[in-house]
Structure 1
Amino acid sequence: MTDFTLRSILHSPDASQRLMKWAIELSQYDLLYRPKTAIKAQALADFVAEFTPSAEEEKLVSKKKESLRADKSSAEPDQPRDMWQLRVDEYEALLAGLCLAKELSIKKLAIYSDSQLITSQA
């Protein structure tokens, strides 16, 4: 299956000396390697559950919109009517983008990702 090229490189005296040199150089900094854990699909489900408005919240929002329409002096400029695009490659970016879209009151959002899993779940 493999030629074990990596093994032959790591067992060469030159590479061993360079690795030892870097190990000595970096040992003074007390570095600790922690692999990044993956965010599971549950994080997306938790986000949706957290930010889905209840019936009471929807009533409050609709009342606020009606009062803004009635009072034209305090009305904010209209939001863009175009479809907003969110392009991501990790769950963290998707969640951050969804939070931002919620803060900006974006109604139409197209999500693009190179991960079919993320786009299918979203």
Structure 2
Amino acid sequence: MTAYALAHLAQGAPNADVLEYMERIQTTLDPFGGRFLVHGATVEVREGTWPGALVVIGFPGIAEARAWYDSPAYQDILPLRTRHLAGDLLLVDGVAPGYDPKSLADKLRPQIAA
């Protein structure tokens, strides 16, 4: 099942460290099948607020996402970003093919009926 790394990063001015991070990150993703799905796109906020940028990276599974984040190659470049851009990074499983949110609602309905 596909997994994702989601980052919500504060706006920041470009600097040499962040540019180096951007130049090197893909080589840390390649061994784990990671690829950018959203990066540098304009965020259109329809509800709430969203200060900053959104990054979405897809992986073949959660094990690959964890292995990428924990890899020496990624840990080596991580400070290039974190010293300059505050933010949150999450690893999360996607849903299985054919997922239907109605089935989850059906499972939860007895809890609210009690």
Q: TM-score, normalised by structure 2?
A: 0.26
Richer in helix (by share)? 1
Higher-Rg structure is 1
Question: Which of the pair has the greater relative contact order for Cα pairs under 8 Å at 6+ separation?
Answer: 2
Q: TM-score, normalised by structure 1?
A: 0.25
